[in-house]
């Protein structure tokens, strides 16, 4: 449960500030869908998917995912949650050190924004400030599949996030 909470909290921020930031890092991006992730009924984060022009989600296009946390989470929780979800959805990846340098503890209202840059890079911002860049072969799919893939913890969450 703690892992799921940690991962869920990873990608959020403040709507007006982040909405402005997404346009700077992903030109032409508009909100495609939004969903609140809950674990055992407790809201963990609100997610927003940004695509170019708000168009249909496509793994071949660049996109952004923002998580606005609805609870406080430690750095440990975020890292462990992400590592567990990566293992659950397709096998462990050697990205723990990168995640530890990327993630900081989050408080209610904090936002992480993740923007893809090709198949092997994802740039992250925390509350509108650059946090890090994750680099690994196929990190775009592996990391974002936690939220947008076929094997997410909540298919209804994923459908809403994709605007379906």
pLDDT tens, residue order, the chain (164 aa): 333 333 333 443 334 444 447 989 999 999 999 999 999 999 999 999 999 999 999 999 999 999 999 999 999 999 999 999 999 999 999 999 999 999 999 999 999 999 999 999 999 999 999 999 999 999 999 999 999 999 999 999 999 999 99
Top-tier CATH class for 2-161: alpha beta
Residue-level pLDDT at 21: 72
Question: Using H for helix, E for strand and C for coil, what is the string for the chain?
Answer: CHHHHHHHHCCCCCHHHHHHHHHHHCCCEEEEEEEEEEECCEEEEEEEEEEECCCCCCCCCCEEEEEEECCCECHHHHHHHHHHHHHHHHCCCCCHHHHHHHCCCECCCCEEEEEECCCCEEEEEECCEEEEEEECCCHHHHHHHHHHCCCCCCHHHHHHHCCC
pTM over 0.75: yes
């Amino acid at each position: 449960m703690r892992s799921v909470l940690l991962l869920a909290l990873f990608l959020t921020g403040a709507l007006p500030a982040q909405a402005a930031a997404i346009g700077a890092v992903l030109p032409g991006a508009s909100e495609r869908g939004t969903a609140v992730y809950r674990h055992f009924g407790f809201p963990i984060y609100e997610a927003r998917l940004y695509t170019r022009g708000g168009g249909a989600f496509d793994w071949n296009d660049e996109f952004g995912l923002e998580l606005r946390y609805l609870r406080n989470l430690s750095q440990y929780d975020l890292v462990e949650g992400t590592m567990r979800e990566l293992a659950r959805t397709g096998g462990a990846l050697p990205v723990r050190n990168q995640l530890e340098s990327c993630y900081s503890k989050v408080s209610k209202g904090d936002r992480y924004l993740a923007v893809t840059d090709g198949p092997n890079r994802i740039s992250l911002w925390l509350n509108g400030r650059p946090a890090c860049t994750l680099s690994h072969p196929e990190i775009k799919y592996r990391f974002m599949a936690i939220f947008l893939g076929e094997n997410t913890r909540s298919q209804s969450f994923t459908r809403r996030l994709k605007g379906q």
